[in-house]
A and B are shown apart, each in its own frame.
Chain A
């Protein structure tokens, strides 16, 4: 158990509203990631972090921002939610760099109406 929690676990929101998802880890790992998973697309990387205040974009970063002010928390914000952002969002951590094993949180199911 890598000690990863995500909140909320489920959320329904309306188009145009801001949404923040939280990922919390208890193991002090340096690398944290946000993915979205959609049918037909598999897991796609949104943003990742390699340390406090150090973040970078993934392949589907448009419409998303992230922040990491503490080692244990990685926040994903949808500035103005759109229906295309309806998805399952997974947070992950890796013990080292990206090429090492990743451990996933339980996911957040987001529905944007």
Chain B
């Protein structure tokens, strides 16, 4: 099983719709979780951290399910500007300080 897995997409979603993607991770010792956004030909940028109790930032909601080892990102009322690749990031707090990036899920918001 890959360390971090994401559906590569693309997800083609009409403007205003709600879209959700999941990311699964294999190491139960994983301790920190993030969603990054990457626009075409740009650097990744932090979208939001994912907390155990779930967290929301405007139209974005992130959730963590430790039992099933996945995190999710929900985008409500999607905008054209949400079109991007969303990277799932998992880190292990051990002596290796390992951080693992998923390959990303491509999202296209359609007008």
A104 touching B97, Cβ below 8 Å: no
In the complex, identify which listed stretch (A40-48, A61-69, A74-82) lies at the interface while the others stay far away.
A40-48
B contact patch SS: strand
CB neighbours of A104 from chain B (8 A) = 43-45
Closest to A88 in B: B41
A42 touches B98 (CB 8 A): no
Known A103-B46, A104-B45, A106-B43: A98·B101 in contact at CB below 8 Å:
no
Q: Quick one: which of A41, A97, A103, A105 contacts B97, CB cutoff 8 A? A: A97
What per-residue 1/0 map shows which CB atoms of B65-91 lie under 8 Å from chain A?
Answer: 000000000000000000000010101
Q: Is the CB of B93 within 8 A of A99?
A: yes
The size class of the interface chain A forms with chain B is 10 to 19
- List residues of chain B with CB within 8 A of the CB of A40: 103
A102 to B101 Cα, complex, angstroms: 11
Among B31, B43, B49, B101, point to the contact of A101 (Cβ < 8 A): B49
Contact partner, A42, options B42, B43, B91, B103, Cβ 8 Å:
B103
Chain A residues in 8 Å Cβ range of B20: none
A30 to B61, CA, bound (A): 31
Cβ contact within 8 Å between B97 and A98: yes
Contacting residue for A98 out of B42, B43, B98, B103, CB 8 A: B98
Q: Is the CB of B87 within 8 A of A99?
A: no
Q: Is the CB of B99 within 8 A of A102?
A: yes
Complex CA gap A35/B101 in Å reads 11
With A90-B43, A106-B42, A106-B43 as known contacts, state yes or no: A98 contacts B87, CB within 8 Å.
no
Is the pair A99, B32 in contact by a Cβ cutoff of 8 Å?
Answer: yes
A41 contact from B34, B46, B103, Cβ within 8 A: B103
Q: How far is the CB of B100 from chain A (nearest CB, A)?
A: 9
Contact indicator per residue, chain B 29-59, by CB within 8 Å of chain A (1) or not (0): 0011010000000111110010000000000
Interface residues of A (CB under 8 A from B): 35, 40-43, 45, 90, 97-107
Instruction: Please name the 7 residue pairs, one residue from A and one from B, whose CB atoms are nearest each other, closest first.
Output: A42-B103, A98-B97, A104-B43, A99-B91, A43-B101, A99-B32, A98-B99
